[in-house]
Amino acid sequence: MRTVHDNPNIRIFTEGDIERITNNYSTLIGKGGFGEIFRGVLDDEDDMVAVKRYIRGDLRDEFMEEVRIHAQVTHKNIVKVIGYCIGKKSLMMVTEFISNGNLEYALHNSGISIPLGTRLGIAIGCVEALSYMHSMHLSSGNLICHGDIKPANILLDGTLTAKVADFGLSKSLSGGITRYTENVKGSIDYMDPIYLSAGCVTRKSDIYSFGVVMLELISRKRVKEKGGINLIAAFNQAYANGKGFRGLLDTEIANECNMKILEGIGKLAVECVAIDANKRPNANDVEKRLLMLWAAQHGKEENIIRRLYRRSPPEIISSSSSNKIGNARIFREGELKKVTENYSSQLATGSFYNIYKGTLEDNTLIAVKKYFDRYEAGKEEFCSRVAMVIMSPVVHKNITKLLGICLEANPPTLVYEYATRNLSNILHCKEDFPLELRMKIASKTSRALEHLHSSRIALRHGDVMPSNILLDDGFVPKVTAFTLSTRFTEDNATRMSMVKGDGNYMDLYYRHTNLVLLKSDVYSFGVVLLELITRKQPAGDCPEKYGLVSEFARAYKMNKSGKAMFDEGIATEENIPVLEEIGKLALHCINLKLSKWPTMKEVAERLKKIRSEGNDEQRWAIDNNSKIRSFTEHDIERITSNYSTPIGKGGFGEVFKGFLDDDDYDDAVAVKRYIRSELREEFMEEVSIHSKIDHKNVVKLVGCSAGENTLTMVTEFISNRNLEDALHKSDISISLNTRLGIAIGLICHGDIKPANILLDANLTAKVSDFGISKSLSGGITRWTSNVKGSIAYMDPIYYREGRVTSKSDVYSFGAVLLELIARKSMKEGGISCEAFRQACAKGKGLRELLDIEIAEECNMNILEEIAKLATKCMIVDNIKKRPQMNDVAEHLRTWIFQVRNGGHEKTAWGLTSIIHDAVKKSAGIFSLSNPKKQNFGIFRSNDVRIFTKEDLSGITNNSSHLLGKSTFCNVYKGILDDNTLVAVKTYSECSCDENLRNSISTSITIMSKIAHRYIIKLLGHCSDADHLPILIYEYAAKGSLNDILYSKEDLPLELRLKIAVKTAEALEFLHSSASCVIRHGNIKPSNILLDSNLMPKVAGFTSSRRIAENNNDQVASMEFTHIHYMDPIHIQSGHFTVKNDVYSFGVVLFELISRKKPVYHCHDKNRRLIPEFIRAYETAKSGKAMFDEGIMAEEDIAVLEEIGRLAMECVSLEIDGRPTMKEVAERLKMIRRMKESSAMGAARC
């Protein structure tokens, strides 16, 4: 591919590179006339970038021009171009990522406070970029202008420093200062009228556009707003009439003390937008006048004037001009006092210096390193080193940038780019510090040192230690502190007059000989590596004898491992191999034999390899997790009928509907296919987190496939699509009651938004898509440079800094709350948090923001409270002010109680006594442990919720919907606060028996500790001293097996077999624990419930018993089992074993194939089912006479006979002759496959 520029630092990417960098264009951050802009991460650098993709491939000429110009422009206030891609189908440019969006958003959409000083700084930064552009010459000798200056093209970094972007309309003014074109393009509101009418573009065209930007900066109004004023005309008129100026200004800054400054800016802006281009000032003049205004605002006119008029004209400034030494700007002491506010904000202190925070005129944050006047020792040598650092051409993204120097001080004062913290700060604090981040810091620091060592004139740093490794907002390291550095023309030694530096990081050779080697940095870096993996300080005056270095070396010598020394916060089983490799590398670096030390290049390569292998270790999440099934690519194609039914699409992949057609799971499922197999790391993370979650409001993970070509995840299918569709793409009625229920059902996730909130048939929320979820291991914060998600719902702190906490979800949840009450899309700009915040603060205007369906007078108090809560969730300036998710849930529960009880004030649903409730898990709902699992089930901790009788009255609407009744109890239908349907089982007062109470108590204990897809889930209970406990179960929509077995409904053999197989699996699970077997004790059709998909759910645990290990034969005090299903051996002896369940299940099998009850009426006689089956098999060697005629197709007789024979074995009076439930389940699966084969054979015939 040919290059279109002469800059060797600009990279050329392939289309595949770009797709990988952007995760297949998953995060759109902007859109314009020429193309779309996506956020991405350079996978080999971990740096965030912006990728501009041209929409049309035929814009190749415009693209070439933009690349050619942008590649030659280098300035601190111009977005840096990193590379580009010229592909067959697309054209793309990669630039640095600027975190705070653009000026248009900050001024007109954000609502943030922007003081006058900051606005002036933005203007100065922008005009300094223009002044630089207008004064430079391209490699061709031509001048340039930008051509599209507007707020949307002025980006803002974390300190609101301006960065000019988008050179798509930039012009090379070849042969002069004017260029004519017939192809006029740009934003008409900011376009020079001369350019618009005549196609004549000059540098003064940029000045006109910048003048409009200045007007917007001081007015905070768009140049032309719908139904509003024309800003340019209004300011011209105000200056012409001498009145009305103040009324045009933003009230935030239009105070009396600012008026002179504002008048100066306004006057300058009006001159810039003059119709006569000759009357417009040039960029250099605009810069000077803005600097004077900034100085006036800060009370330092005289100092700025001296500085300005000492400068050479911008047209002839070069690297040798008098205001710079090398690339470092020369400051006066007075200037530094002003920018640091007289050195008022101290960042750090050392033995010979203090470091202060400062802010330059364009809002750039700086660190000013000022040495003490008393530092006399070696001052001459020190100054020569400073000069060497300044003049040495050391430029690397992981080396802190020297911005300037003040020579009035002796030693000189140094001005660096600002960094928020250093490695020592986070190494030796209590904040979470994941291994991934430690490895990133180590890898990038090693690259910086490699760069120093490999330059033409090699540079030994001389002071490598954690406090000299600074970290920016994205936790990217920047090596600093070069005052002990030494130049090497070749790899030889230099003798120092005295040993300098921290002894803990100093190599033995240097300490004893005063000889400095290039490899001295390798030793120091080895100590840093030890600190990173141990989180211990290298204390000790003689590290080779005691301290961290010697302790670590001793550990490896004695145990061949550093495991005893590793930081417990990262020493998980899967991390140990990675930590061992880093430990071995560190030992090579600190080896006492000089010849054994690796070079920094070798160290960097080793770390890169270790880091890459560490990512591969995540495969354990799939390989070793028995909770989820592993599918092949062929399985997935079969399940989805070759991906025939798409039901959704997102940034990570596509979602298809499918059906599992096997013994273990034959429900509808959703299959998420990752678009690119290169997203393996994201896939592993999602599987790892999702597989550890078991909650009724979280979509259930069934399995996954990690094939060579595709990555797919299989989850349960949720019928009602997602909340985004329900709110914004349908017209279904959704009451406030239902909306509050949806909100309560939600839950660190990382990407809470309506599209990731699925709704079942009851509009119960199910959180899905854990593609960017984070495991906050060891703490409450996690940092990442790979920021992903939907910007409209994304916590700005996560967006800017890559810092994700449980409070990140709180912000996103606040956005969803606003959408729920407004029924307008946050993503499409239909609503804003600021509008709700102002409406709540002013006490008016809220109703207009709400969805009219719920904005009734009786709801307004609650809706106002919801709005206030949502805006509190979305606080940006102080994350600590956001509420915790359990506090949010408590408020929501209170309000839903009020809504469902006619606005009466009540304590929220059992909030005074909730134990292990799902709400408690809202901020971290997921127990990221790896509980024991067998056959789709786990033994779980007690997370059953405790209700009050008052709660249950509301849940059941005063017991108004009876589902069923028996001798001892009634069962009522109810609805929880998150719209979950439940069944509430209440025992009658007359049944209050101590034995029954004990049995119910045992069943609560058992059910609270088990979870299986075919066992009914106990959601809660209510204990009352005077009565028996009330139990709350998940709701089974189709009643019980007894209901459909003895109805007139069609009940095909396939469905009967499915119910039998799943029920057998549930009983197998209960019987299979090695330490505590559970015997159900009451298996019968009325205790086999059926959900909406006719999936069985085993219930009725009041006769259940736990059987201790090696004691499978115990005596029961009393049983509550129906006599017809009770094992005769148990009746006779009172002993219970798991084989009692086998007998009861055998009876159920007989009922399934005969559709007759255990005692049924035939030929005017009561007959008993089991003896009749026994008689049939003894006399005719067949159960055909007993089979249900509705399923006696010729091809099914053999299947029915097999089930009958299995049932006969189950009801054998020889208890040892009965099969185990595991054997029963396997036999039934085999019979089911036999049935499927016979059906296919019949179909072929």
Binding site members for ATP: 52, 672
- Amino acid of residue 950: E
Residue ranges of the alpha helices (H) in 220-282?
A: 231-241, 259-272
Cα 292 from chain centre: 45
| Strand-pair category, 328-330 with 402-406 | parallel
DSSP string, 694-755: --TTBPPEEEEEE-SS-EEEEEE--TT-BHHHHHHS------HHHHHHHHHT----S--SGG
| Strand-pair category, 91-96 with 81-86 | antiparallel
| Strand-pair category, 629-630 with 653-659 | unpaired
DSSP string, 87-102: -SS-EEEEEE--TT-B
Contact 947, 1021 (CB under 8 A): yes
How is residue 882 written in tokens? 């956001």
Alpha carbon separation from 677 to 16, 48, 712 (Å, rounded): 12, 21, 10
* Helix, strand, coil percentages, rounded to 5, for the chain: 40, 20, 40
Verify whether residue 148 is a known catalytic residue. Answer: yes
Which position has the token pair 């159900």?
1080
How is residue 886 written in tokens? 């359990």
What residue numbers does the annotated binding site cover? 52, 672
For the chain, the first-to-last Cα distance in angstroms comes to 62
Contact 972, 962 (CB under 8 A): yes
How is residue 723 written in tokens? 């909340």
Backbone φ and ψ of 982, nearest 5°: -135, 165
Alpha carbon separation from 396 to 431, 479, 1107 (Å, rounded): 29, 10, 68
SS3 1034: strand
Longest dimension (CA), the chain: 120
How is residue 925 written in tokens? 């709902």
Bridge partners of 229, per DSSP, are: none
1204 C-beta neighbours (distance < 10 Å), count: 21
Q: Which of 17, 46, 47, 148 is catalytic?
A: 148
Alpha-carbon gap, residue 1091 to 1044, rounded angstroms: 12
Give the H or E element holding residue 467.
none
Contact 527, 540 (CB under 8 A): no
| Strand-pair category, 781-783 with 803-805 | antiparallel
3 C-beta neighbours (distance < 10 Å), count: 14
Q: Spell 866-889 as b/e; 16+ CB within 10 A means b.
A: bbbbbbbbbbbeebeebbebbbbb
Alpha-carbon gap, residue 1139 to 1132, rounded angstroms: 14
- Amino acid of residue 1012: H
Q: Spell 1110-1147 as b/e; 16+ CB within 10 A means b.
A: eeeeeebeebbbbeebbbebbeeeeebbbbbbbbbbbb
Non-local CB neighbours of 232 within 8 Å, separated by 6+ positions: 212, 215, 223, 273
Backbone φ and ψ of 426, nearest 5°: -90, -20
Non-local CB neighbours of 884 within 8 Å, separated by 6+ positions: 806, 810, 923
**Cis, bond preceding 1158 (omega within 30 deg of 0):** no
Alpha carbon separation from 1156 to 305, 1054, 1064, 1128, 1143 (Å, rounded): 104, 18, 20, 20, 17
How is residue 513 written in tokens? 């000989």
Catalytic residue set: 148
